Structure 1
């Protein structure tokens, strides 16, 4: 039996897919889900013909899918060993689920990054926090959605948090302590890339003080009056910024083909890169105002890769779906 090639999206959260499904349908690119919440694979089987795109999220455990990241590691290893075309492959998932890995990779590439200490368990947190000036922040190593990100204005406040019932235990036991960066203006910038190339930049309003900056429509939280205040808008003219070429080079060096990269411009003149999101989502307000669509660019890019895949190949045996 043969199957026609298609794009297989590897993920664990169907709520994030509708805008992508609509974009693929509009571009006429066949898309099939590989939902890695359970299932199996025959390691001796050949993958079905197509392009395999990993969108596994570092926040999977917050939706009860703690093991999906390990499932994804196994599936990506099998796909790559079988010679399948994989977008954001096995090495990329390790970056997605570890801010330590991201920090070290950005440092090696010469980017300015926040001073950070990784603490394993609770015991060393109070002592290591004294190495930072006030205020400082904590965050989870395996995060997403602003997990575990808190600002502390005194060491006593932090001590009480660590010792108390409200302490948020990281899923991998690693808490990051980090310098608090003061922005020159109340926003951060998220640059989006598809096929390793710049698509657009997003200006994200941080004036509310929130650290939860997920751009997806599914992440939006209404205010007390039921309305949602727009936080995201296109940052015009950013395509010619020198950071764009540097980010493109970084993505190429690390085998990352689709991603959003976040940085902050500080009051003391720094441009600090602090997050790489390889399962990037796209904000509907930005999409409505941008002449270029992130999801449509993904569909075009993966559709182009799909044209290079031979039609005739054995169907996938024991597919996890």
Structure 2
């Protein structure tokens, strides 16, 4: 079997690629940033593709990569190629609206949300949901362009001043703000088993709980690859190990199966009012800090 490895940033998958090579497994490396493909040629020289392209857009990344990746993955699957974290999984990872729908379909708690594509519709949606709300891009990550609004006055002012940014495709969610126990929890699943589970302290008015130091690094500037200034956590924001309760673990596994992901992470908070987990994010791009061996005892 011939295996291809789809990636983007040159250093984010180094350890995984080295692991394959150290086990005498040859990979055909494909950098999505440099990819073009002949749509009427189906002479594909690999049988399996491992998809390691991040779904999130970020500053200085060409936003077209999000959509180019989706086109390529769908084209490969139609051509009969098996993909680890394939087109459906990747698409769900890039759509907060679809994620919320999946949580609801599984009868899990998730913040009430209304999908919009016009900024002017945000006020009506927020009034229907009830303040406070957050507004976030449908395709997003690392807390980019997420804003909280406590009243209609605040929100109307932001709309009038054109301060709302719905991201690369101009669509987003108006979502009920949930008061939590003070932590964001992340459970990573590999196959149908627990990979690891962590938690991070919530910092007021911050929405970036990316678990890896380099999550916002410019993919086109390798000189920055060791400068993790974009995701530096203060001491109150440090990642901690967390023993996920068995009931929550089973719920997370159900979500992963629904997305058809081969691996991925689910984020949730504990609703202060109900004491129950409230699910809000699925990420098919499993990531972690570079010193995972020290932190977890193994390299994720």
TM-score interval, normalised by the smaller of the two chains: 0.7 to 0.9
Does residue 164 (structure 1) correspond to residue 161 (structure 2)? The answer is: yes
Listed one character per residue, the Cα deviations across residues 3-62 of structure 1 (whole Å, up to 9, x for unaligned) are: x733x3323333533343454455554444322224322342332235312233332364
Does residue 234 (structure 1) correspond to residue 226 (structure 2)? The answer is: no
Does residue 18 (structure 1) correspond to residue 18 (structure 2)? The answer is: no
TM-score, length-scaled by structure 2: 0.84
Q: CA RMSD in A?
A: 2.6
Which residue number corresponds to residue 295 of structure 2? Answer: 289
Tell me, in whole angstroms, the C-alpha distance in 1 between the residues paired with 2:142 and 2:151: 25
Cα pair 2:58 2:144 within 8 Å, conserved: no
Alignment map for 1:208-227 (pairs within 5 Å):
208-219=204-215, 220-221=228-229
Q: Which has the higher contact order (CA 8 A, sep 6+)?
A: 1
Does residue 187 (structure 1) correspond to residue 183 (structure 2)? The answer is: yes
Shift of the 60–209 alpha-carbon distance from structure 1 to 2, 3 Å rule, reads closer
Tell me, in whole angstroms, the C-alpha distance in 2 between the residues paired with 1:107 and 1:132: 16
Which residue number corresponds to residue 310 of structure 1? Answer: none
Tell me, in whole angstroms, the C-alpha distance in 2 between the residues paired with 1:129 and 1:227: 31
Shift of the 124–74 alpha-carbon distance from structure 1 to 2, 3 Å rule, reads closer
Flag structure 2 segments of 5+ consecutive residues without an equivalent.
216-227
Q: Which has the larger radius of gyration?
A: 1
Which residue number corresponds to residue 49 of structure 2? Answer: 52
Which residue number corresponds to residue 218 of structure 2? Answer: none
Post-superposition offset of 1:102: 0.9
Cα pair 2:136 2:166 within 8 Å, conserved: no
Tell me, in whole angstroms, the C-alpha distance in 1 between the residues paired with 2:19 and 2:8: 19
Task: Name the count of aligned residue pairs.
Answer: 285
Shift of the 29–61 alpha-carbon distance from structure 1 to 2, 3 Å rule, reads same
Cα pair 1:46 1:82 within 8 Å, conserved: no
Tell me, in whole angstroms, the C-alpha distance in 1 between the residues paired with 2:111 and 2:148: 14
Shift of the 211–178 alpha-carbon distance from structure 1 to 2, 3 Å rule, reads same
Post-superposition offset of 1:168: 1.9
Post-superposition offset of 1:227: 8.3
